[in-house]
Amino acid sequence: MKTIDEMLNLDLLTPEQHRQIGDWIARANSPEDILKMPAPLWQAVERASEVMGIDQDLTRPPLLGAGDTVFT
């Protein structure tokens, strides 16, 4: 929900889209249920995600060898 709240705050989603998406997520019992969201809502999320650069964040390599870090 934090991400769609940010999308709303950046005016990338309308208040109505935000409400509909939030309601859909709240009713979903599984990730598969979320994936059944109506196409217009998915398209709104995809457009907002593109503007926010979410895909680039997810595909960027770890910084400064963070993958080699060992936590004990």
pLDDT classification of 43: cutoffs 50, 70, 90: very high
Q: What's the mean pLDDT in 40-52?
A: 94
Q: How many domains does the chain have?
A: 1
DSSP string, the chain: -HHHHHHHHTTSS-HHHHHHHHHHHHH-SSHHHHTTS-HHHHHHHHHHHHHHTHHHHHHSPPGGGGGG----
Q: What is the pLDDT of residue 61?
A: 75
10 is in which domain, residue-wise? 2-57
Q: Judge whether residue 65 has pLDDT over 70.
A: no
Q: Judge whether residue 66 has pLDDT over 80.
A: no
This prediction's pTM: 0.74
Q: Judge whether residue 56 has pLDDT over 90.
A: no
